[in-house]
Amino acid sequence: MRGFYIGRFQPYHNGHHRMVEEIVSDADEVVLGIGSAGDSHTTRNPFTAGERVMMATKAVAEFDVTAYAVPIEDLERNSVWVSHVQSMAPSFDVAYSNNPLVIRLFEEAGVEVRQSPMFNRTVLEGAEVRERMIEGGDWRSLVPDAVVDIVEEIDGISRLRQVSETDANGEA
């Protein structure tokens, strides 16, 4: 049984990690869909798909399970979203999400969805991590060590701070 879990992972943090841990107890294999794959260098989406693939892959290595980290580009067309995800990812049996839109789309397509109270916190935690990165707070304790290494390797804090200045000022 293969489980599917989609998120933006900007960055992959401990909230995501707890979710994966829960899915791993449920499924034999896990597919992490890296959504908004074409977005990067913004306050809300600072890291490229490739950088997020590295974060996710290194972080889930500690679980003894076959995992796939797959970038999913936005087609901006909800009616074909499920088909698109199914074509980009290894075939999966169950999707894990608390997002009402995602749940509805999977339900209309006849795909089983499992929800978890844990999911709601991932949105808030992602914004919190990015805010601490910008403000110089303690972001490292909110993400797995492997992610700390990657963020530092790609000069991620500096990038996030620079591009968030644009969001504050508008643009030329």
Q: Which is nearer to a second copy, 89 or 138 (CB)?
A: 89
- Distance set, CA 61 to CA 67, 81, 122 (Å): 8, 28, 20
Q: Which is nearer to a second copy, 87 or 141 (CB)?
A: 87
- Please name which of 44, 70, 36, 42 lies closest in space to residue 56, comparing C-alpha atoms: 70
* Cα–Cα distance for residue pair 25/17, rounded to 1 Å: 13
Single residue of 26, 28, 41, 137 touching a second copy by CB under 8 A? 41
Q: Which of residues 108-137 bind a second copy (CB under 8 A)?
A: 108, 119-120, 122-123
Q: Is 77 in the site for a second copy (CB under 8 A)?
A: yes
Q: How far is the CB of 6 from a second copy (least distance, A)?
A: 7
* Cα–Cα distance for residue pair 30/77, rounded to 1 Å: 25
Q: Which is nearer to a second copy, 76 or 138 (CB)?
A: 76
Q: Is 32 in the site for a second copy (CB under 8 A)?
A: no
Helix (H, G, I), strand (E, B) or coil at 121: helix
Token pair 């994966």 is at which residue?
A: 20
Residues binding a second copy: what is the number (CB under 8 A)? 63
x/- contact string, 45-74, with a second copy (CB under 8 A)?
Answer: ---xxxx-xx--x---x----x-xxxx-x-
Q: Is 162 in the site for a second copy (CB under 8 A)?
A: yes
- For 46: left if phi > 0, alpha if psi spans -120 to 50, otherwise beta; the answer is alpha
Helix (H, G, I), strand (E, B) or coil at 116: coil
Neighbouring residues of 137: CB distance < 8 A, sequence distance ≥ 6: 131
Residue ranges that bind a second copy, judged by CB under 8 A: 6-8, 37-42, 48-51, 53-54, 57, 61, 66, 68-71, 73, 75-80, 82-84, 86-91, 97-105, 108, 119-120, 122-123, 154, 159, 162-166, 169-172
